[in-house]
């Protein structure tokens, strides 16, 4: 059974015993998400309006931090996220991520977690969210995206999520000059991204991780 765990910055993550894997870095879940997805992805991508696709909705932490940024800014953000195993309410209801998201954190977090799956939901100013309950290896994803948050479980634990075939699928729905960010900087991952039509850059990682990957669709 999944367990709630406190990471080094005080924010929660979830431990999955069957995979011996955490949803986020144990060195700081919020810190990791801000570093990889917000600063290296959202802040770097200039598209306006901004269409984001996320692989692995999980706890909704990336969605929450993105919604806060969108509300504070001027860009319209349309966020689509796919999740094979939506979290049960008993565990998502205990997450403390809103404590790290400022005064609007609690309200926005609650709107994100209660948003119905399979439809577009207006969450707050400048932020709309579509949560898809589905499997990225099977589901046909429609649309074109400027920014991809690739946040699957690690390549050692879930190799089928990091294949050339998956990155080709992602490449097809990524705009030219669109950006993909992910925490993995493994050689195979970078090679598959290049073969799928991305130019790959290594960036310094958050605490506990030497490097992360940002890729730009050619």
Ligand X SMILES: C[S@@+](CC[C@H](N)C(=O)[O-])C[C@H]1O[C@@H](n2cnc3c(N)ncnc32)[C@H](O)[C@@H]1O
CB of 218 to ligand X, least distance (A): 25
Is 135 one of the binding residues for ligand X (CB under 6 A)? yes
Is 137 one of the binding residues for ligand X (CB under 6 A)? yes
Per-position DSSP letters for 86-123, written without gaps between them: PPPHHHHTT--GGGGS-TTHHHHHHHHHHSPTTSEEEE
Is 82 one of the binding residues for ligand X (CB under 6 A)? yes
Task: Tell me whether residue 34 or residue 151 sits nearer to ligand X (CB atom).
Answer: 151
Task: Tell me whether residue 3 or residue 199 sits nearer to ligand X (CB atom).
Answer: 3
Exposed, middle or buried by CB within 10 Å (0-12, 13-18, 19+), for 27?
middle
Binding mask 11-40 for ligand X (x = CB under 6 A): ------------x-----------------
Task: Look at residue 31 and give its three-state secondary structure.
Answer: helix
Exposed, middle or buried by CB within 10 Å (0-12, 13-18, 19+), for 119?
exposed
Is 84 one of the binding residues for ligand X (CB under 6 A)? yes
Is 59 one of the binding residues for ligand X (CB under 6 A)? yes
Is 62 one of the binding residues for ligand X (CB under 6 A)? yes
CA distances (Å), 58 to each of 49, 116, 151, 173, in order? 24, 15, 9, 21
Task: Tell me whether residue 83 or residue 146 sits nearer to ligand X (CB atom).
Answer: 83
Q: Of 139-198, which residues contact ligand X (CB under 6 A)?
A: 151-153
Phi, psi for 102 (deg, rounded to 5)? 80, -170
Q: Which stretch binds ligand X (CB under 6 A): 66-74, 82-90, 100-108, 186-194?
A: 82-90
User: Within 10 Å of residue 107's Cβ, how many Cβ atoms?
Assistant: 13
Which of 19, 46, 85, 159 is close enough to bind ligand X by CB under 6 A?
85
Which of 69, 83, 92, 148 is close enough to bind ligand X by CB under 6 A?
83
Q: Do 197 and 172 form a contact (C-beta atoms < 8 A)?
A: no
Catalog residues that contact ligand X under the rule CB under 6 A. 23, 56, 58-59, 61-62, 82-85, 135-137, 151-153
């Amino acid at each position: 059974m999944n367990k709630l765990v406190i990471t080094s910055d005080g924010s929660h993550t979830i431990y999955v015993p069957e995979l011996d894997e955490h949803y986020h870095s144990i060195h700081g879940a919020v810190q990791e998400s801000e570093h990889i997805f917000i600063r290296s992805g959202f802040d770097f991508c200039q598209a306006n309006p901004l269409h984001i696709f996320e692989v692995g909705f999980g706890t909704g932490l990336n969605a929450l931090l993105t919604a806060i940024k969108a509300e504070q800014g001027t860009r319209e953000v349309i966020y689509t996220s796919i999740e094979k195993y939506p979290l049960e309410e008993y565990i998502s209801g205990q997450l403390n991520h809103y404590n790290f998201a400022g005064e609007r954190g609690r309200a926005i977090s609650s709107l994100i977690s209660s948003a119905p799956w399979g439809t577009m939901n207006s969450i707050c100013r400048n932020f709309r969210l579509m949560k898809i309950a589905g499997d990225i290896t099977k589901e046909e994803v429609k649309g074109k995206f400027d920014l991809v948050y690739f946040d699957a479980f690690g390549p050692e634990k879930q190799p089928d999520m990091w294949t050339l075939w998956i990155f080709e699928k992602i490449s097809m729905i990524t705009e030219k000059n669109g950006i993909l960010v992910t925490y993995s900087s493994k050689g195979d991952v970078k090679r598959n991204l290049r073969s799928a039509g991305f130019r790959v850059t290594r960036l310094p990682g958050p605490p506990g991780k030497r490097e992360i990957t940002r890729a730009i669709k050619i």
